[in-house]
Amino acid sequence: MSVIYQRVALIGLGLIAGSMAHAMREQALAGEVTGFARSPETRAVAREIGLCDRICDSAAEAVAGADLVVLAVPVGAMGDVMAEIAPHLAPGATVTDVGSVKQSVIEAVLPHLPQGVHFIPGHPLAGTEHSGPRAGFASLFRNRWWLLTPLPDTDEAALARLDRLVGAMGAKTDRMDPGHHDLVLAVTSHAPHLIAYTMVGVADHLRRVSGEEVIQYSAAGFRDFTRIAASDPTMWRDVFLHNKEATLDILGRFTEELFVLQRAIRMGDGPQLHEYFTRTRAIRRGIIEAGQDTEAPDFGRSPEARPGE
């Protein structure tokens, strides 16, 4: 691979930014990678493990001279971070983000965008329940979708360059309208996370009533819920607050479906339950056939594919 950006600045040093750093180093895609995190402890860990070529003590220092800046912070912090770095961005630089919500990020970032700087929102559909600078690994994005939601006046050359970087890190790219993105992700990610948090909360309440059996005898279905519910609480708090309408819409639809199943169970309607579960089973087969998971656990990857854990 050849160098695509001379200097990439990672603002936020969690799972996604860390995996980008590993992938760019593995493929020699950046001349230099700088990094900044708000927490001194996070910066210390990043320095200790050599996550970036330089770990900076301010966001301004990290973005100075960068031709690509990646905002890898919680959705609720995007606007403040952009306001902080705006005066220090190089003319012609590209700013992108990796947030799970797009419309609210655009609204937060655009007012602070300097003239001549390109903003191309993005969202890698990849992750684990782990967070922090030690969580990243170079193969995280392989065969995963990375959605770009360019604005109507986005510079095509800047978009093509970012697309090339994303592809070189192993991801498949697609372009999507920001509002449509938020609706799709409410179905595929946001509502499932909220349901997982709720189910684990119910189990925790039951555990307090009936002892440790819920933990001791967890079956695979509940264990999957706990994996999802172990995701970063700050990130997910912000996701729900900033994708409120789409998430509430999908939760309303979920509630309606739940009532249908409740009635079928109450009425002993075995054929309806069987037909419903047959239809939903086909979704799982479709995901596997699309190459977005395998029959194996752990996000379709073997433990050997995740160094450092």
Residues 277-291: tens digit of each pLDDT: 998 888 888 888 887
In Å, how far from its chain's centre is CA 193?
A: 12
Residues of the chain with pLDDT under 50: 298-309
Coil, strand or helix at 112 = helix
The reported pLDDT for the residue numbered 130 is: 83
CA distance 33 to 30: 7
Contact 214, 203 (CB under 8 A): yes
Instruction: For the chain, list the domains and their CATH numbers.
Output: 5-176 (3.40.50.720), 180-305 (1.10.3660.10)
Residue 183 DSSP symbol = H
Contact 148, 175 (CB under 8 A): yes
The reported pLDDT for the residue numbered 302 is: 42
β-pair partners for 96? 70, 120
Which distant-in-sequence residues (6+ apart) come within 8 Å of 90 by Cβ?
63, 64, 65, 66, 67, 117
Coil, strand or helix at 196 = helix
The reported pLDDT for the residue numbered 309 is: 35
The reported pLDDT for the residue numbered 137 is: 95
Coil, strand or helix at 6 = strand
The reported pLDDT for the residue numbered 222 is: 82
The reported pLDDT for the residue numbered 211 is: 66
Q: Which two tokens stand for residue 126?
A: 């990849």
Q: Give the angle 302-24-233 at the CA atoms, nearest 5°.
A: 60
The reported pLDDT for the residue numbered 288 is: 82
Question: Would you say how long the chain is, in residues?
Answer: 309
